[in-house]
Amino acid sequence: MRPFDYRRADDIDGAVAMLALNPSAAFLGGGTNLVDHLRLGVTAPDLLVDVTRLGLDRIEPLADGGVRVGGTVRNSDLAADRLVRERYPVLAQALLSGASGQLRNLATTGGNLLQRTRCVYFQDVTTPCGKREPGSGCSALRGYQRYHAILGASSACIATHPSDMAVAMAALDAVVRVRGRDGERAVPLTDFHRLPGDEPQRDTVLQHGELITAVDLPPLPEGMRSRYRKVRDRASYAFALVSVAAVLDVRDGTVADVRIALGGVAHKPWRASVAERELRGAPATADSFRRAADAELAAAEPVEGNAFKVPLVRGTLVAVLRELSEETAR
């Protein structure tokens, strides 16, 4: 591991200024992803700026009925928060399905969104990987592909984004608030992570030195129910093979509104907008749910090692929508 400096920032402007002055510096949240990467040699910043004492650890109701989650709120605190459990069960469920209790006690909102892919070649510095080393190729194209993408991938990278929390936030139309040298901006979560294209090294639209200060969760209309389901190789402490976050409102047997995001299928949390369009105004029946899943998955381009994900997503999505529709029917 290369030596590096450590500084604890006292305020947001100071944290942003430290990174602005040093292109090789990085923010440090809970360190549960970044410190692994330092040890593995995946990344080697010469300065870590600890952002966990900036007062960004609060969860606050917003005037419009939504909730603001500070950028350094720990994953455990977010999952346990009363407002989140009551208003956004999908988010609490997603958080609790991730990692372990000890890791969630450290992991922060900002760090979770910016955690990097679990592609084995990305973490193994002896193998070519264009995300870690631009232009070096993609070992996964002819290698281990079980956790890789079936939607939106490119010939440069077929990695998936590993976060559970981000998938729930995508279904909730969350907005990421960031602060950089040029001030503040707000980015819809669905636009925050990128597809790989020919720049797989860029996971998000964030510029160097921009700090995630908060994530805003808009209010959910009365009557909407939400759920997160994660399918994995073992019952706990494993990343998603696929996951579904869904928010559904059924009135008089018809889908009044629906939001769906998929995890484990793409370089970003995948908002299933084709399925959503298919469902709005349709009868809330298993047939409609199957048709919507098929419409979304028509664009899937699995590789040999992950073709199983197509029927797995279909089955999981239909099951989650059926359960939610039975709960919301009125």
Ligand X SMILES: Cc1cc2nc3c(=O)[nH]c(=O)nc-3n(C[C@H](O)[C@H](O)[C@H](O)COP(=O)(O)OP(=O)(O)OC[C@H]3O[C@@H](n4cnc5c(N)ncnc54)[C@H](O)[C@@H]3O)c2cc1C
**Residue 80 burial (CB < 10 Å; 0-12/13-18/19+)?**
middle
By beta-carbon proximity to ligand SF4, the closer residue of 128 and 315 is 128
Binds ligand X (CB under 6 A): choice among 211, 214, 245, 293: 211
| Residue 119 binds ligand SF4, judged by CB under 6 A | yes
| Ramachandran sector of residue 209 (left: φ over 0; alpha: ψ -120 to 50; beta: rest) | left
> Taking CB within 5 to 8 Å according to partner kind, which of ligand SF4, ligand X, none is near residue 117?
ligand SF4
- Contact by Cβ (8 Å): 55, 91: no
- Candidates 38-46, 154-162, 176-184, 185-193: pick the segment binding ligand SF4 (CB under 6 A): 154-162
Closest CA to 72 of 26, 105, 36, 34: 105
Binds ligand SF4 (CB under 6 A): choice among 27, 122, 147, 192: 122
> Taking CB within 5 to 8 Å according to partner kind, which of ligand X, ligand SF4, none is near residue 306?
none
- Alpha-carbon gap, residue 307 to 111, rounded angstroms: 30
| Residue 243 binds ligand X, judged by CB under 6 A | no
Residue 242: C-alpha distances to residues 124, 196, 262, 276 (Å): 23, 19, 7, 18
Binds ligand X (CB under 6 A): choice among 81, 164, 249, 278: 164
| Residue 151 binds ligand SF4, judged by CB under 6 A | no
- Contact by Cβ (8 Å): 217, 60: no
Angle at 270 (CA atoms; ends 228, 169), nearest 5 degrees:
50
> Taking CB within 5 to 8 Å according to partner kind, which of ligand SF4, ligand X, none is near residue 115?
ligand X
For binding to ligand X (CB under 6 A), which residues are involved? Answer: 26-34, 51, 71, 98-99, 103, 106-108, 110-112, 114-115, 162-165, 211-212, 239
For binding to ligand SF4 (CB under 6 A), which residues are involved? Answer: 117, 119, 121-122, 129-131, 138-140, 157-159, 200
